[in-house]
Amino acid sequence: MAGWWITGYNLEEVWNTTKGENVRVAVLDTGINRHVDFDFSKIQGYDYINKSADFTTDENGHGTHCTGIINANGTKNQGMAPDANLFIAKVCDAAGKVNFDALKSALDDIYNETNNAGQVDILSMSFVMVGSIDEQPKIKEIEVLLTKIATDKKCILVSASGDRNEDWNNSPASVSACICVGSVGQTRVRSVFSTKTINMDVMAPGEDILSSANTQDSVAMSGTSMSAAYISGICALGLSYIKARMNEDPELIKKILYQTADAVNSSVNEYGHGIVAPQKFIDTLKTI
């Protein structure tokens, strides 16, 4: 049975138009397990933590769950864009903490289109970069590289706002090119954990989201990580639709995503442009 984050957002109607064909999403996370929800003929990747071509081990489970929200094929769980292609970049360790050197290497490959990381359309980043004073130069270098990827490679960047329930401008969500995503629950109210930030762009389901776990299981998780994965999948649907009509403008996707969001009468740092409205998003793209 489809969850509220699908039925309550008319995804089944949207899938009559597009399921994310001919779009490649890079998921930068803890890796992925060989779950029955994934078609590995459409998935490539690299383990930047262990410097290994085998990216199909996810000791944490976070990456598998987020990838399922984006791309699960419906065998056990249903993703937003089940026909999209993936590049899995394992840049977070078993505890879920991002490794800055691994992240930089992955972004270099995406920018240079090396190591099977070419032609990425969307970067999905469900992590925050928190480091010591000595690590700040590395964070700044990564932020500059993300901006170059967005500008030079015409890539859509999606980032979780964070789970601190306070005003906090974390990176990479604070990078101006990123779509900063917060979480709402089934009642369409901002999740208690969802960070408030002046960078907030759009809200998406992020509470008790059922997705892929281990090799054939399902598990419910909550967090803006889930919301960012959700928006990555929605962007894949929109980009797939306009690509089929010879338009690959990522700024159009962002503009219409924000324009069609359901506005909420609250502060911008809590809801941004509002709550994502997938069917309105796709229907508006059809008129352009």
Task: Supply the range of the domain harboring residue 93.
Answer: 4-286
Q: What is the pLDDT of residues 1-57, one digit of tens each?
A: 589 999 999 999 999 999 999 999 999 999 999 999 999 999 999 999 999 999 999
- The pLDDT, as a whole number, for residue 1 is 58
Could you give the CA distance from residue 32 to residue 15 in angstroms, rounded to a whole number? 24
Which stretches of the chain score pLDDT less than 50? Answer: none
Structure pTM? 0.97
For the chain, the domain total comes to 1
- The pLDDT, as a whole number, for residue 171 is 94
Give the CATH number for residue 10: 3.40.50.200
- The pLDDT, as a whole number, for residue 131 is 78
- The pLDDT, as a whole number, for residue 11 is 98
- The pLDDT, as a whole number, for residue 268 is 79
Nearest to residue 272, comparing CAs of 167, 184, 201?
201
